Amino acid sequence: MSDGLITRQELSQTLKDELDNKLDNSMIVNNLDETEIGKALDATQGKVLNGKINNLFSKGNLGSVDFNMLTGEGYLGIALGTSENNAPTNGSYYYIVNLKYNRGGGDNDNIKQIAWGYSDNVLFTRHRYNNNWTSWTEQISSLGGNFTGEVNHGYNLVTNPSLKAYRENAIVLDGISPIINILQGNMFIHTITGNTEYMIPSNQDISYVDSFTLTIIQESTPKSIAFPSNVVWVNGIPDLTKANTEYIITFISSSKVANRWIAMFGGGVSVS
């Protein structure tokens, strides 16, 4: 520069520096603003974006880190579950993915944490709210899994089940006018406390066959027992008034006559 004037060479260098700076910024994908969304990336930007994606999913082995401390966002890596690090199970590796809802940052953020088995196809989820983690819930797939809560099929058909080590939930009746509601269950237990008359709701849909089992317990002072007129007994009405006796009766709905229950007496045993 001479006499305060910029030479042609200095001007060229200044313009080149400004152009290089703009090109450098345009190649950084993080600097693309909203106006760039929807536009095609040039070759250089595409390489940068591809590199960022590779870095995002190329996470390493996190070891036996405390799962409660994995609070980042996105795919975090593979972690080993132990009995002491808040993992879904002990001794298995899991891919860890966090979905985060920002509520101010830090411990205030809500997190949905997903743990997907490394060597099997089991999937567990849980979430953090107000810095408190819930317990893990296993997501059931076609490969099976363990239910930890009630499952309601809504009377939909279950085809070809293979049952093993199952048990039925027992409904305990009370009072002298108990209602046997098969929508609640199929096993009923009633200890007689006074002269009793059972009430059994009608079964109007004969396209289905319903059944239930009733256990009656007579104590030291037997009481009378009566059933509604829609009960038809196989081999006649049994004597159910022996003291200290537990009686078993099975009821099956008629496939021909609506609102009819066919009762079969299974006998009684002493409970004294």
| Whether residue 242 sits in one domain with residue 259 | yes
pLDDT score for 3: 54
Q: Identify the pLDDT of residue 58.
A: 60
In-domain check, residue 191: yes
178 lies in the same domain as 261: yes
Higher pLDDT, 223 or 59: 223
If one compares 247 and 139, the residue with the highest pLDDT of the two is 247
**Same domain flag for 71 and 35:** no
pLDDT tens-digit readout, 128-152: 998 899 999 988 777 777 777 788 8
Q: Which of 89, 119, 139 is the last residue of a domain?
A: 139
Residues 65 and 53 in one domain: no
In this structure, the answer to whether residues 190 and 232 fall within a common structural domain is: yes
Q: Are residues 230 and 208 in the same domain?
A: yes
pLDDT at residue 152, rounded to an integer: 82
Q: In DSSP terms, which residues pair with 217 in a beta bridge?
A: 191, 246
For residue 162, tell me if it sits in a domain.
Answer: no
Question: Is the model more confident about 231 or about 28?
Answer: 231
Specify whether 21 is located in the same domain as 89.
no
Q: Is residue 145 part of a domain?
A: no
User: Are 207 and 182 part of one and the same domain?
Assistant: yes
Residue with more model confidence, 143 or 187: 187
H or E element, residue 52: helix 43-57
- Describe the crossing of helices 8-27 and 43-57 by its angle, rounded to 10 degrees: 40
More confident residue, 212 or 23: 212
My answer on whether 107 and 187 are in the same domain is no
Give the total number of structural domains in the chain. Answer: 3
Residue 34 forms part of a structural domain: yes
- For residues 32 and 73, state if they share a domain: no
Q: 74-120: per-residue pLDDT in tens?
A: 899 999 999 999 999 999 999 999 999 887 777 778 999 999 999 88
Residue 125 near residue 112, CB atoms below 8 Å = yes
> Computed over its alpha carbons, how large is the radius of gyration of the chain?
36
If asked whether residues 24 and 75 sit together in one domain, one would say no
Q: Which of 57, 76, 92 is the last residue of a domain?
A: 57
In angstroms, the CA 95 to CA 33 distance is: 32
Q: Contact, 152 vs 167, CB < 8 A?
A: no
Q: Indicate whether 65 and 117 sit together in one domain.
A: yes
Residue 53 lies in a domain: yes
Tell whether 223 is covered by a domain. yes
* Domain boundary pick from 117, 139, 161: 139
- Domain of residue 100 covers 61-139
Contact call for residues 137 and 126 (beta carbons, < 8 A):
yes
Query: Would residue 160 count as lying in a domain?
Result: no
In-domain check, residue 155: no
Show contacts of 65-74: CB within 8 Å, 24+ apart.
67/96, 67/113, 67/115, 68/133, 70/96, 70/98, 70/113, 71/98, 71/109, 71/111, 71/128, 72/98, 73/98, 73/99, 73/100, 74/98
Q: Is the pLDDT of residue 127 over 90?
A: yes
